[in-house]
Amino acid sequence: MTIGQHAMYVAMLVAAPLLLTALAVGLLIGVIQAATQINEMTLSFIPKLIAMALVALVTGPWMLRLLVQFTHNLIVGLPGAIR
């Protein structure tokens, strides 16, 4: 049970920067579109893509380190979980 909880926590931490970036950029673009009455669906895609790529470049090493540490702890603790 603890392994599953920790896995969900790590998944939340890894996904949070990208999801929050997409939310913030989408909200900002939505406000701009509402103010200017430009209703183009593809207008929000490119800024979201660029912002998420930048956030992935910045937080990528941290996410990878977190996933490697979780995997290492999982493999090391696996014999204790089987008993």
**Where residue 80 falls among pLDDT bands split at 50, 70, 90?**
confident
Q: What is the full DSSP assignment across the chain?
A: -HHHHHHHHHHHHHHHHHHHHHHHHHHHHHHHHHHHT---GGGTHHHHHHHHHHHHHHHHHHHHHHHHHHHHHHHHHHHHHH-
The pTM score is 0.81
**Where residue 20 falls among pLDDT bands split at 50, 70, 90?**
very high
